[in-house]
Structure 1
Amino acid sequence: MKNPLAMQGLIYLVLTIVFTYFAISQVNMSGWTFMTFLMIAMATVNLVTGIKFVLVGLTKKKRVG
């Protein structure tokens, strides 16, 4: 694994997609519930964390190499 920070960031971005999908499914089945808002919040945290890890991983790679 050449760039573990960027890979970890991509995992967080995939989790963002998963939580967003579950939130949309929850709204379609039950409407807006507490669980929906919780999944949206988790997706948002994963998105921000994923972008941060990818950017740090890419800038670190540029400095070293």
Structure 2
Amino acid sequence: MKRTPLTSGIMYLILGTLFVLLAIQNVNRTGWGFFSYFLVLLATLDFGSGIRMILLHRKITSINKKNK
């Protein structure tokens, strides 16, 4: 099965959302500690990667449409 940038981007966005939810629960339970900041950092990286992958998919499809 081929893994496209779109599916990778969606998976990154889902992971980013999961990390945000875990960070919210951790802050509500224990306050802002190292683990909370770490989860927010992971969520930020995942959202950035997800957006970049989706934009890459759009660019690839637009190039493929121009070549046809």
Q: TM-score, normalised by structure 1?
A: 0.92
- Superposition pairs for residues 1-65 of structure 1, below 5 Å? 4-65=4-65
Greater RCO between the two (CA within 8 Å, min separation 6)? 1
| Cα distance, 1:3 vs structure 2 | 7.2
Structure number with greater Rg is 2
Superposition CA RMSD, Å: 1.6
Paired with 1:58 and 1:14, the residues of 2 have a C-alpha distance of 19
Q: Deviations over 1:28-64 (max 9, x none)?
A: 0001110000000000000110000000011101111
Gaps (5+ residues) in structure 2? none
What count of residue pairs does the alignment treat as equivalent? 65
Q: Where in structure 1 do 4 or more consecutive aligned residues deviate above 2 Å? A: none
**What is the letter of the counterpart of residue 54 of structure 2?**
V
Gaps (5+ residues) in structure 1? none
